[in-house]
Copies of this chain bind each other. A is one copy, B any other.
């Protein structure tokens, strides 16, 4: 059956649900009614959507780290530390990579090894293996709202377990947790699986429990032009809304040019709202998240603080609803609690110093127009390809290279498009592949890149893109030729 952007019927949903809950023994502990009751017992201060809505109303930017370790107690200690010593407004539970691939047996080995060696041998928290009761232990121990962050193509069981466990926010989506996170999972599959996750969110919503959903914005985190990630975010917002999701945070990974970044956050919010309304979803609250630079970091911690701060500045000046924080250990490995808290404190300092400042609207005008025009080209073509259905259109768009994410591992991504920075560090598109841009937009991109090529006295090429990939880790934004 071909994929459609259509709400799953109860019959469809509960039919699938039987097999989902059987994927791993812990699935049997999930009981919806009892889970609703648990959620209703939570104080407002632990509810993600409430805190986001409040932040949006007050135009402040909340800070949230990434964090997750193998064992429950250690994970609670870690989160408590980040809450108390880092001042995190929101906390995550990052899931390990085996769980993300539904390799629960390997996750089990990781847990055992972690117990044995006394250090986390997993790069995240294996929530499925731990099960509902353990997840609730985390929720009960922490004072601020909690979100699951992962990168799981088939996250259905995970969603069931952590929702039942009391998590009030959940990252991911059928595109954003496939193309950057998988090699050979068909897009129809992940979109369908994420319809399940979204429908489950809708079911909670209908029971009076508003769980926040966050399409994963930064994709590969590596020179992704705003219009590309905007298109994906908006599609996932539409898919989620169709399943009954009412509280959505759309995301964007900082590119590094301030004007482009601020314009990106502003247009991300306005375009998402525009498309939601256009397609009849009128009661969804949209908030935004900026991810501090998601590409390669400098190894030196002092330099890393510089990168972290610049991401914080972009978040504050664009008044994103929240910012996801990197740490001074980023280039080296999963951070210690201490390093993670340092990233948070550095970020909070910058965010709160800048909260009363903004970027002049006039200076954003051109960049906003470009992002809007590009994003609309992409989305309109997707709808066209799907004969009006965005789920179908998305699958066909990826096949056609109409949606194309740079440096992605998935074989369902064309990988024809090549981005490079322009002379001011904004990310532009050198090789269009099959992006359905107008001539004006193509000319604009190439004109900007030409300026740089002239300045650097070299041709724009794959080598230029490589230089840009390394640039920030080597202390620059634009990867100028050496020597």
Which B residues are in CB contact (< 8 Å) with A256?
A: 353
Task: A306-B309, A309-B313, A353-B472 are known; give 15 further A-B pairs, CB within 8 A.
Answer: A257-B357, A258-B357, A302-B341, A302-B349, A303-B346, A305-B306, A305-B308, A306-B345, A306-B353, A352-B477, A353-B477, A357-B424, A360-B363, A362-B363, A363-B363
Shortest Cβ distance from A423 into B: residue = B356
12 example contacts (A-B, Cβ-Cβ < 8 A) are as follows A302-B343, A306-B312, A306-B347, A306-B348, A306-B350, A309-B309, A310-B350, A348-B475, A352-B475, A353-B425, A356-B424, A360-B363
A290 at the interface (CB under 8 A from B): no
Contact A303-B423, Cβ < 8 Å, known A257-B357, A362-B360 = no
Q: Which residues of A contact B (CB under 8 A)?
A: 256-259, 298, 300-310, 312-313, 328, 341-350, 352-357, 359-360, 362-363, 423-425, 472, 475-478
Q: Which of A305, A357, A476 has the most CB of B within 10 A?
A: A305
For the complex, would chain A's binding face be called helix, strand, loop or mixed by DSSP majority?
helix
Q: How far does the Cβ of A85 sit from chain B's closest Cβ, in whole Å?
A: 10
Q: Which of A257, A306, A310, A341 has the most CB of B within 10 A?
A: A306
Q: How far does the Cβ of A333 sit from chain B's closest Cβ, in whole Å?
A: 19
Shortest Cβ distance from A358 into B: residue = B424
CB pair B305–A356 under 8 Å, yes or no, is no
CB pair A306–B349 under 8 Å, yes or no, is yes
User: Given the complex of chains A and B, what is the CA–CA distance between A94 and B356 in angstroms?
Assistant: 35
User: Given the complex of chains A and B, what is the CA–CA distance between A261 and B134 in angstroms?
Assistant: 51
CB pair A348–B423 under 8 Å, yes or no, is no
CB pair A353–B305 under 8 Å, yes or no, is no
User: Given the complex of chains A and B, what is the CA–CA distance between A298 and B346 in angstroms?
Assistant: 10
Contact A313-B310, Cβ < 8 Å, known A343-B302, A356-B478, A425-B356 = yes
Contact A349-B423, Cβ < 8 Å, known A342-B302, A362-B362, A477-B356 = no
Which B residues are in CB contact (< 8 Å) with A309?
A: 305-306, 308-310, 313, 346, 350
Q: Which of A256, A298, A356 has the most CB of B within 10 A?
A: A356
